[in-house]
Amino acid sequence: MIPVLATLAAGWALTARAQGGIPDGVPSFVVDYAPVVYLYSEDKYWPSDISAQLINTEPKVNSEPVANAPNPLTLDNLAELNDFGGENVYLTSKIKPDANPPYLKGVLPNADGETQGAISCAIVTNDHGDGTVDAFYFYFYAFDFGGVYVGQNIGNHVGDWEHNMIRFVDGKPSAVWYSQHSNGQAFEYGTVTKLDGGDRPIVYSANGSHANYATSGTHAYGIPNVNLPSGLIEDHTDEGPFWDPTLSAYWYSYNRTSKAFTSNGSDESVNWLSFLGHWGDEKYPQDDPIQDCVFGIDALCKYTGGPTGPIDKQLDREEVCPDNGILCIVRKILVQRSD
């Protein structure tokens, strides 16, 4: 069984994959080719329990608590907030992030690559019905540390959703998408490096920002869809702690016709996946004591707004890349370059 509430799910979700089990309704190839992640060695913010974000936050709209919101807020009733402001709702940290409350740190994977005691991944499959199946591997972090540029820390936000998507054709992997900030990169499956020379693609999670890359090293990301080896704005990746997200995950299917989610292997609610709001604080105004914006420039503030969840990640995309108005390039080489 795959319950939605973490208090019920922990025992099953943290043991089934470790024991070699595959949830009912999940094609074996979704597990066999699932990505593995190397976290950055000096990152202070690790994968986090999805439900814990609700315990440590309260829903707000325009910085005001949502009156008559579900209480306690759980993964089983989260989407009810769609009736209280929907996409304008922000799950706002009860303790401001400048105080660095412990929950923001997340859970360091153990020696087996498991975020023990924390469900930190959601795996969603979308069967197009023509032999094409897209498998989304969503990774959750309680905090995104934006980085330090010209001596200034900018771009932090509570809540962080990143993902890979592998497109399968007739059960065979054809391409892999790596989310990075507002966009990302796609590669042919045969191009990316695999764990121990096997079938599972390696993902390198960037320091603080958790952007996903296919190579380790330095990545300049100032230009969308371009990953250069150096630049003014950089991410850094290496082979730090090993994380196998499938060992602590929820498993779902998405119906492209009905736009509905189904929990694989159980009839438990999947309410939380339909939440339209944000998984973190609203961007703090410039007059807030914890906010600091370089030269008063709004785009260069220390804190920005939290992200939306999996429902807003184009689960029924036509191409491997989401449609962000940028040409979708499925790369055939791994070296960093612009085309």
The answer to whether residue 21 is domain-embedded is yes
pLDDT at 185: 95
The DSSP symbol for 266 reads S
Asked whether residue 337 is domain-assigned, the answer is no
- Residue 1, SS3? coil
- So what's the pLDDT on residue 335? 72
Matching residue, tokens 């509570």: 158
With cut-offs at 50, 70 and 90, classify the pLDDT of residue 150.
Answer: confident
Q: Are 249 and 264 in contact (CB under 8 A)?
A: no
If you write DSSP's letter for every residue of 196-257 in order, what string do you get? GGSSSBEEEEPTTT--EESS-EEEE-SSTT--BSS-SSEEEE-S-SEE-GGGGEEEEEEETT
Q: What pLDDT score was predicted for residue 148?
A: 85
> Is residue 135 scored above 80 in pLDDT?
yes
Contact 127, 118 (CB under 8 A): no
Alpha carbon 23 to chain centroid, angstroms: 21
Say if 284 falls within a structural domain: yes
Instruction: Render pLDDT for 184-214 as a digit per residue (tens, 0 to 9).
Output: 999 999 999 999 999 999 999 999 999 999 9
Q: How far apart are CA 287 and CA 18, in angstroms?
A: 49
Q: Classify residue 58: in a domain, yes or no.
A: yes
Tens of pLDDT, residues 34-45: 999 999 999 999
Question: How many whole angstroms from its chain centre is CA 190?
Answer: 24
Half-sphere exposure of 94 (CA within 13 A, CB side): 9
Tell me, yes or no, whether 336 lies in a domain.
no
CB–CB of 303/294 below 8 Å? no
Evaluate whether residue 129 is within a structural domain: yes
Question: How far apart are alpha carbons 285 and 62 in whole angstroms?
Answer: 11
Closest CA to 19 of 112, 151, 132, 148: 112
Answer whether residue 216 is part of any domain.
yes
Number of domains in the chain: 1
Burial of 83 (0-12, 13-18, 19+ CB in 10 A): exposed
Relative to beta strand 183-188, strand 330-331 is parallel
Q: What is the pLDDT, as a whole number, of residue 182?
A: 85
Average pLDDT over residues 5-16: 34
pLDDT band at residue 19 using 50, 70 and 90 as cut-offs? very low
Does residue 22 form part of some domain?
yes
Q: Domain range spanning residue 165?
A: 6-331
Q: Is-contact 319 328, C-beta < 8 A?
A: yes
Token look-up 């009810």 returns 80
Whole-angstrom distance between the N-terminal and C-terminal Cα of the chain? Answer: 44
